[in-house]
Amino acid sequence: MKTLIPPNPAPRPGSKGRPAKWLLRCGVVAGPLFVVAFLIEGATRGHYNPLRHPVSSLALGEYGWTQTANFIVAGLLTLAFAFGVRQALKAEGGTTRGTLWGPILVGAWAVMLIGAGIFTTDPVSGYPPGTAAMRAEYTNLAAELHDLISLPGFIALFAACIVFAIRFARLRQPSWAIYSALTGAAFLTTFILATLAFSQNPSLVAYGGLFQRIAITSGWLWLTLLATRLLRQSHDTRPE
């Protein structure tokens, strides 16, 4: 007597390749954690001016380890999120280019954060007190690597906004396409202004920290909302 083996049930639409939700939750947590941490540090650190000084300068001094930890933790969470983005976009379908480059660029931002935590920056704009406004040369290899890693990371996050804007446009999701494009434009503009300010441009130097905070916060907000969207979508496609 032959035993009949029932065929495997067909996968439900949207159920194949669903991302691990914990990876997407890492993306929901990373941004708010990073921003709240550096806001508290900047408000409580003596002689530190959030309007003038960069976030990376919080890694200098006696309590600098807190910002170092902030960089590394946020970077690890975002790196996990990048894998979640890859899985989520594959499940969602759409353009192959966005599915590939979107997660890669988010991952590059994550690697930059980890590198910024490992390699401490040089003082700039007079913080800590008694240091030069800007040094002619790097004081050590770590400071040089900090800047060398940071620039591609910021560019990667800007590029991620544009890649997702194109993807959302092709998927006929105009609100997300416009939001991603506007975030990319705001992020790039304020990043450039912050860079000029930290280079001691006389008309901008007093607001370098403000420009950088606008760039970082807008970028993190976009990533957090993207993670929330993907997480909600993964709930909507769960099997019944």
Q: How far apart are CA 219 and CA 188, in angstroms?
A: 10
Place of tokens 């790196």: 79
Q: How many CB atoms lie within 10 A of CB 145?
A: 17
Decide if 190 contacts 208 (C-beta within 8 A).
no
| Cα 152–Cα 108–Cα 92 angle in degrees, nearest 5 | 135
1-15, 19-33, 53-67: lowest mean pLDDT where? 1-15
Decide if 114 contacts 75 (C-beta within 8 A).
yes
Q: Write down the pLDDT at residue 13.
A: 39
| Cα 84–Cα 223–Cα 168 angle in degrees, nearest 5 | 80
SS3 127: strand
Q: pLDDT tens digit string along 91-136? A: 876 556 678 899 999 999 999 999 999 999 999 999 999 999 998 8
Q: Write down the pLDDT at residue 94.
A: 58
Q: Write down the pLDDT at residue 234.
A: 79
pTM of this structure = 0.88
Name 85's Cβ contacts closer than 8 Å, sequence gap at least 6: 19, 24, 27, 102, 103, 106, 226, 230
Half-sphere exposure of residue 20: CA atoms within 13 angstroms, side-chain side: 8
- For residue 137, the one-letter residue type is E
| Cα 170–Cα 225–Cα 19 angle in degrees, nearest 5 | 75
In our burial notation (b when 16+ CB lie closer than 10 A, e otherwise), range 18-37 reads bbeeebbbbbbbbbebbbeb
Rounded mean pLDDT, 77-86: 96
Q: Write down the pLDDT at residue 6.
A: 46
User: Residue 127's beta-bridge partner residues?
Assistant: 124
DSSP state of 190: H
Q: pLDDT tens digit string along 155-214? A: 999 999 999 999 999 999 999 999 999 999 999 999 999 999 999 999 999 999 999 999
